[in-house]
Amino acid sequence: MASKYAAEPATLEAAVFEPIRAGGIPDQGEGVRAIVELAQDAMTVGVIQVPTEGLGAGLPAGVPLLLDRRKGAAPISSLKDLIDKHRQEPARRLGTASTTTLQSFIDLVDRHKDDGSVVFAKTAWPEPALTAVIDYHDLDGTPRWGNHRIRYAFPVTDEFKVWIEKNGKAMEQAEFAAFLEEHAAELSAPFGPEVTEYEALFKEKFATPNDLIALSRSLEVFVGARVKRQERLSSGERTVEFVEEHTNTKGEKVEIPGLFMVSVPAFVDGDAVRIPARLRYRIQGGSIMWFYQLYRWQFWLRDQVKNDLDTVKQKTALPTFEGSPEA
């Protein structure tokens, strides 16, 4: 018959006390029991609370830690990751929402804002944008996470991109004539104050959209012709004279305006930005190259972003800043 002790005891306590009860070992009373309890404690896993008083602001009263006394185990570890895995809803709001229109940005900020929310603006080219930090630091100095944000990256129109891309770049006569025809809808007649300010500044005459379309068609006629001469009139206007190379006929003069006004929406669903442009050309060996120079276009673009920032400030009643929030 097998011995009653042949099987391994279920617990350390059984291993120690069963022989005592069987009469094999004298009972040493509480001393032996204390040893057993210490041995059992050395093999257990438990949760302890570490008080945080005096360790700084923003901490709970106690931090739970896992105390693992088993051999070979990490003695102390955080329970945060384990607890977070079992959350049924987030501990706090975080992440960045992206909006595609200014009104959507305003509406979403209104939905989530609190007393500490602010709006930052990147007003310079490239990639102007608005960023609302919903959980920004409180006015009383209490820091907050700053992880819940709403962003509006101003969507630049294709038309505005083309004007910026071609700015200052020389074009052959046929290319320039086609460019003016293609972008006729983005040309504007100057307002009275614009005429007064910019004609005095540049000593040039403004062209109307009709003047520029007429110019483009005149240039199309003289594609391949040679420039005979150029002159500036006392009025400030300029002319170039074209002559066909294979004939001796008298060339025809074409009047060249010095200024024109571009009126194009810089941002999708946004107002048009008005930018003065100087019309330029270079003559080299009888051929002519054309280009334009947008006057202070970055200033006008930044002005548009600032206007939209003012709109956000009025409609959300939040403080606004030009710059970037903390990373």
Q: Give 102-145 pLDDT, tens digit per residue.
A: 999 999 999 999 999 999 999 998 899 999 999 999 988 889 99
d(CA 36, CA 302): 78
CB–CB of 142/91 below 8 Å?
no
CB–CB of 267/207 below 8 Å?
no
CB–CB of 259/277 below 8 Å?
yes
Q: From the centroid of its chain, how far is CA 196?
A: 38
State how beta strands 95-99 and 252-256 pair: unpaired
pLDDT in tens, 134-182: 999 998 888 999 999 999 999 999 999 999 999 999 998 889 888 999 9
More confident residue, 327 or 40: 327
More confident residue, 324 or 13: 324
What pLDDT sits at residue 51? Answer: 85
d(CA 225, CA 230): 14
CB–CB of 273/257 below 8 Å?
no
Dihedral in degrees, nearest 10, Cα atoms 154, 158, 160, 164: 110
Give the SS3 label for residue 165: helix
Residues 6+ apart with CB under 8 A from 155: 100, 267, 268
Mean pLDDT for the chain overall: 81
d(CA 315, CA 108): 12
Confidence bin at 248 (pLDDT 50/70/90):
very low
CA distances from 48 to 84, 85, 250, 293 (A): 18, 20, 102, 72
Q: Is the pLDDT of residue 39 over 50?
A: yes
What pLDDT sits at residue 7? Answer: 47
Give the SS3 label for residue 259: strand
pLDDT > 70 fraction of the chain, expressed in percent and rounded: 74
Give the SS3 label for residue 88: coil
Confidence bin at 5 (pLDDT 50/70/90):
very low
Dihedral in degrees, nearest 10, Cα atoms 57, 62, 65, 69: 130
pLDDT in tens, 255-293: 778 899 999 999 988 889 999 999 988 776 667 788 999
Place of tokens 């991109």: 161
What pLDDT sits at residue 309? Answer: 96
What pLDDT sits at residue 72? Answer: 67
